[in-house]
Structure 1
């Protein structure tokens, strides 16, 4: 089991550089609230209670994308959760940032500008290389210690994730510890009863490795979304390919056909595939069709009612359930039924449960599902997948350094 120092091990009244992940949806140029703000506010509040001076590093989007915006709005959202002012400076490691850091007082919070606007943050490189970037060389001397709390990006070897821990005393924040502990449970814990994994979403490259890597721990897999359709196609059904207006299936089929066939042949007895699918009919209403003998002429947007009920029954009899990816296009409430029925059943079942994988956690937000009914609702995507499959997370590994 991984061990690292946490914020409990930091002496009070320090000047801390804290890496969080409040990467959020952006709609019409406006940054939207998300549970990430709430989660990181818990870590920050604890640090403020110990009279630390806290400077925050975070990112938003990637260069070239519409979501690549300033963190000014993030400061306001975070301040609402903290119930205190969060100062913002439109600079990351230049003169304005250094001046703001110099003025930082104990018990106060400063948010630096989007770290991905700073040269050297991207692309990925070994920690020793990222430690030599201007970002790290400039900011590290200004602080007593570094706190890594951005579990969602712990799989990325970026300067703000791995560079600072390489040259500074480094500690794990609450989000980092709690997410890692919950998401690694499928690898670290032993369950006496049935372990079920619900796999959906749009990326086969994320889900297929999960099946092959956790087969010794997970007893059964319930498949949906694009992933479910691709497995149905591998099983001989006339679904799982693109129709006019879509580009989700054919390239993934070409890229992963051999793997899909191999997994289906090897783990077929453990895989539960949809028996019916939902689509939008000519009147704009939800309609359903049995998978058997269907010919795909339109997009399927959710698993059908029969499949949802069957998956819910399997979940209700499980000791542990891990969810990665939605079973349908849950953003449209007409096609959220499958995902919601499974999540609601998990919530009503006394089992160990982790819900995660990027957008999946948003279902809990959008439909007011009680987060407390799950063992953990993960805010991570790529890091969650890596933890499920037991692969190392560089952002975790670098916190374990003994120097």
Structure 2
């Protein structure tokens, strides 16, 4: 197991990896829950008298979201309630000079680490530890803290290179996310375990179901994956119409696994009995029995919502991966929002995973405190559920 901030001591020069990757709208970086979550780690280190140097990424080269972290420094400062200095350099002379001039209790944010050529290649930790990026910065620090759980499924230099050459610790986000997201595999619950699975990435959901097997008592399926399972059951849904491009290629990739899962776990898989669609600008619903798909179905129907709520109310633990529908359109938010509301009102251990699904909590005024944990991770959450490798976590544990 990794060491945490409880083990780090005081007054050290600390390099902290955060995940501040955020939406960018017309060049303006948007505040989100990642800043508030990581602020706890940064604030705790500052109050411990450490010299706190933060690094993070934003976007990928070639995309509109690939911008400087200068705005991020101001947003982070608001959440930490302390000034955050910024230097437009990752590991060159300006960055090193800024690190050396930092005083105890001060905070510095380096430039977007993906502007450094050594960062992005997926390489073994041993190779990253020998990169110019790591070799330039590591001698300036006493310790490394990784708080970027949401990027833990990547084997990038800033995530796996530094733990090989510095005393390394998990930040509070890393610690809490890892504990919550692996609990389905590592904890025993006094009652049924339910998984609510939806969203557009059906392949991820199918992989999760295939990996968990006996850990889950009931699977409640909606979104694209719900339709694909209905297709496997013989209903006339689960394929692309009206210009969509999300069903057919995922069906081709997962048909065999879906059909096998339905056979192996027939009594544990609950599928939608009705679906919602748009007619003359309004929400309408239809039963899946006898339906012919000539339009998209952007939500589950209310009969399904009520049936799923009944299962949730009897659950000791509920894990969520993916939305029940296109909740960004208020007409088709009922499935996602009402299921989340039922989870929040049930006395159970609950984890809501994935950035898109957790965004519905904020968008529709639900209380995050009603859930045991709301994850800010996407790919890392899926990896945790499926038992797949998390290179950044493994590097901390070595």
Q: Bin the TM-score by the shorter chain.
A: over 0.9
* Of 1, 4, 27, the match for 2:2: 4
Partner of 2:75: 77
Provide the residue aligned with 1:361 in structure 2.
358
Deviation at 1:23, TM superposition (A): 1.0
Match of 2:299 among 297, 302, 310: 302
Question: Aligned with 2:108: secondary structure?
Answer: strand
Match of 1:289 in 2: 286
Instruction: Name which of 42, 45, 50 aligns with 1:44.
Output: 42
Aligned length: 398
Q: Does the 8 Å CA contact 1:237/1:294 hold for their aligned counterparts?
A: yes
Q: CA shift at 1:89, angstroms?
A: 1.3
- What secondary structure, in the 3-state scheme, does the structure 2 residue paired with 1:321 have? strand
| Deviation of the 1:248 alpha carbon | 0.8
* Contact residue 156 and residue 395 of structure 1 kept, 8 A: yes
Kept in 2, the 8 Å contact 1:187–1:389? The answer is: no
Match of 2:264 among 263, 266, 284: 266
Match of 1:101 in 2: 99
The yes-or-no answer on 1:338 pairing with 2:335 is: yes
**What SS does the aligned partner of 1:346 have?**
helix
> Which of 174, 178, 182 is residue 176 of structure 1 equivalent to?
174
| Aligned counterparts of 2:310 and 2:63: Cα–Cα separation in 1 | 41
Please state how far the C-alpha of 1:189 moved relative to its aligned partner.
Answer: 0.6
**Which of the residues 300, 307, 311 maps onto 2:308?**
311
**Residues in 2 aligned to 1:396 and 1:313: alpha-carbon distance in whole angstroms:** 37
Shift in Å, 1:192:
2.2
Unaligned runs of 5+ in 1: none
Cα distance in 1 for residues equivalent to 2:234 and 2:306: 23
For 1:215 and 1:160, locate their aligned partners in 2 and report how far apart those are by CA, in whole Å.
34
- 1:221 matched residue in structure 2: 219
TM-score of the superposition, structure 1-length normalised?
Answer: 0.97
Q: Distance in 1 between matches of 2:390 and 2:101?
A: 34
Any residues of structure 2 matched to 1:208-247 within 5 Å, and which? 208-247=206-245
2:385 aligned with 1:385: no
After TM superposition, the runs of 4+ consecutive aligned structure 1 residues lying more than 6 A away are none
Residue 133 (structure 2) aligned to one of 127, 132, 135? 135
**Aligned mate of 2:111, from 108, 113, 121:** 113
1: CA distance between counterparts of 2:116 and 2:203? Answer: 30
Any idea what the Cα deviations from partners look like across 1:302-347, whole Å, max 9, x if unmatched? Answer: 1111111111111011000000111111111211110111110111
Q: Distance in 1 between matches of 2:113 and 2:46?
A: 22
- In 1: Cα distance, 2:31 partner to 2:123 partner: 31
Gaps of at least 5 residues in structure 2 are none
SS of the residue 1:246 aligns to: coil
Q: In terms of mean alpha carbon deviation, does 26-35 or 185-194 score higher?
A: 26-35
Q: Hey, what does 2:200 align to over in structure 1? A: 202
CA contact (8 A) 1:223 1:272 kept: yes
State the partner residue of 2:344. Answer: 347
Could you tell me the TM-score, scaled by structure 2's length? 0.98
